[in-house]
Amino acid sequence: MHVFELPYGDSTIKLTLPDKGFIGEFYPRRQSTTDVGDVLIERALDNPIGTRRLEELVRPGQKVVIVTSDLTRPCPSDVLLPHILDRLNSAGVSDEYITIVIALGLHRKMSVEELQKAVGKEVYQRVRVLNHDVDDTVHVGTTGRGTEVEIFRPVAEADFRICLGNVEFHYFAGFSGGAKAILPGVASARTIRQNHSHMMENGAEAAHIYDNPVRMDIEEGVSFVGIDFILNVVVDEHHRVIDAVAGDWIKAHRVLSERLEKTGTVAVEEALDIAIVSAGGHPKDINLYQAQKAIDNCAGVLKPGGRMILLARCPEKFGSETFRKWMTSGKRPAELVEDLKRNFVLGGHKAAAISKVVLKTSEIFLVTNEEFAGEKLVGIECFSDPVEAIEAAFSEKGADAKYAVFPLGASTLPRIK
């Protein structure tokens, strides 16, 4: 028997699985370096890609905005921000000219306690920290694809914009990070909806970036306001920085995305009957809205009719009221996909993405907290006991079922060799 310990919320779940049919346990590959954290961050800031150093670009008296992620993202803002603030101060920009904006997209506003946790208490006391407000935006232009670009006023009106972020696979924008800090990060609901509607087009998929319609629309939209400097990182399962780039908002992001594709893409010998996937623990499984990314990443290695078992604690359950309504609608997966094609709805797009996976494979087994396990979801059967989910999957697929384990599903992109 094989024993696995998989991330689940802030802890782990231990699973015992048979030797027979085992294809492998797959993690992202790590770059061969002993440098982590502050060393990598400082090296990136000392050697920016496509620009001069931050302290050589910014000028005293400029209103500087730093855009960073909320707590649903594993971006270590509290680690990155002191490095940025030190460089700004050394260039003569005092703290009173600096504002940190939390890029919420359409997520809920963060409390004072959450803001302090996100940026660090010392930073919170030093500079102004704001939640992005989707209702306080400025129209800055219209993309060639018809997206009306409306950006949070303090960001649009800043003299100098810095964006922080973590880069990981994104199921329809190719990768997170880069310009996504602005769009959808600090955009209006209308802008986000119009941009995300392109997810149904060809090329809108994980690790696909150069002719990805969503990414191209994002970057055209952001070009109307511009980003003066980025610091983007890759983090491991312990939220430690293991890679970093800084500099130009497109060139630096491309470099880190290409590195991540090389390390995060893993080859699986053959198609699977069963994929056992952890979203990767907190915050990747804070709700089903976030955990969905692991579903999309790992679905491509399943046979038609294959079974995915997803481990995601989901203490915040759905993460979106619209998503909840779609997932509990009682409709068939094919109906949700058709509904989205007829009328694109944010929140509904996540339900349709799950439904597309279900239509290609089969119903997903979700191992989650006991309260959430009582929900009746489109295309998903919920379990609070992982053993029951495992037994049900092997009962369906047989004792000879080929299976593999993906402990960090949101950070791994498996492909058939």
Tens of pLDDT, residue by residue over 48-65, are 999 999 999 999 999 999
Q: Which of 3, 71, 116, 13 is nearest to 282 (CA)?
A: 71
Using 50, 70 and 90 to split pLDDT, how confident is the model at 32?
A: low
Q: Express each pLDDT in 327-352 by its tens digit.
A: 999 999 999 999 999 999 989 999 99
Q: How far apart are the first and last CA of the chain?
A: 25
pLDDT at 390 over 90: yes
DSSP 299: G
Distance between CA 217 and CA 229 in Å, rounded? 20
Give percent above pLDDT 90 in the chain: 93
Over the stretch 257-312, which tens digit does the pLDDT of each residue have? 999 999 999 999 999 999 999 999 999 999 999 999 999 999 999 999 999 999 99
- Residue keyed to tokens 């049919």: 21
Q: Distance (Å, rounded) from C-alpha 242 to C-alpha 37?
A: 7
**Residue 234, SS3 per DSSP:** strand
Q: What is the pLDDT of residue 349?
A: 94
Any idea which residue has 């080929």 for tokens? Answer: 402
* Residue 341, phi then psi, degrees to nearest 5: -65, -35
List, in order, residues 6 or more apart from 272 with CB less than 8 Å away: 23, 301, 302, 303, 306, 402, 403, 404
On whether the CB atoms of residues 319 and 291 are closer than 8 A, the answer is no
Cα separation, 31 vs 142, in Å, equals: 40
Helix (H, G, I), strand (E, B) or coil at 103: strand
Q: Is the pLDDT of residue 365 over 90?
A: yes
Q: Identify the pLDDT of residue 186.
A: 98
Residue 359, φ and ψ in degrees, nearest 5: -65, -30
Q: Which domains does the chain have, with CATH numbers?
A: 2-28+269-416 (3.90.226.30), 38-262 (3.40.50.11440)
What is the mean predicted confidence (pLDDT) over 376-398?
A: 97
**Prior bond to 82 cis, omega within 30?**
no
For residues 299 and 306, what is the distance between their CA atoms, to the nearest angstrom? 9
Q: What is the pLDDT of residue 317?
A: 97
Residue 239 burial by CB count (10 A; 0-12/13-18/19+): exposed, middle or buried?
Answer: middle
Closest CA to 213 of 123, 283, 127, 145: 145
Give 161-198 pLDDT, tens digit per residue: 999 999 999 999 999 999 999 999 999 999 999 999 99
Residue 47 has pLDDT above 90, yes or no: yes
Say if residues 154 and 65 touch (Cβ distance below 8 Å). Answer: yes
β-pairing verdict for 2-8 and 11-17:
antiparallel
SS3 360: helix
Closest CA to 309 of 322, 327, 323, 291: 291
Give counts: helices (H), strands (E), the chain. 14, 20
pLDDT tier at 33, thresholds 50, 70, 90: low
C-alpha–C-alpha distance, residues 54 and 48, integer Å: 8
Q: Which of 291, 305, 304, 311 is nearest to 406 (CA)?
A: 311
Q: Token match 């359409």: residue?
A: 106
CB 282 within 8 A of CB 76: no
Token pair for residue 128?
């102004």
Which amino acid is residue 310, in one-letter code? L
Q: What is the pLDDT of residue 417?
A: 87
pLDDT in tens, 394-411: 999 999 999 999 999 999
Mean pLDDT of the chain, nearest integer: 95
Q: Six-digit token pair at 393?
A: 């999957």
Choose among 347, 342, 295: nearest CA to 325.
347
Please report which confidence band the pLDDT of residue 36 belongs to, taking 50, 70 and 90 as the band edges. Answer: confident
Residue 31 has pLDDT above 70, yes or no: no
What stretch of H or E contains 325?
Answer: helix 321-327
Q: 311, 280 in Cβ contact below 8 A?
A: no
CA-wise closest residue to 292 among 315, 269, 319:
319
CA distance 336 to 353: 9
Residue 34: band (very low, low, confident or very high) from pLDDT cuts 50, 70, 90: low
Classify residue 35 by its DSSP letter.
-
- The C-alpha atoms of residue 160 and residue 139 are separated, in whole angstroms, by 18
Nearest to 402 by CA among 247, 257, 248, 275: 275
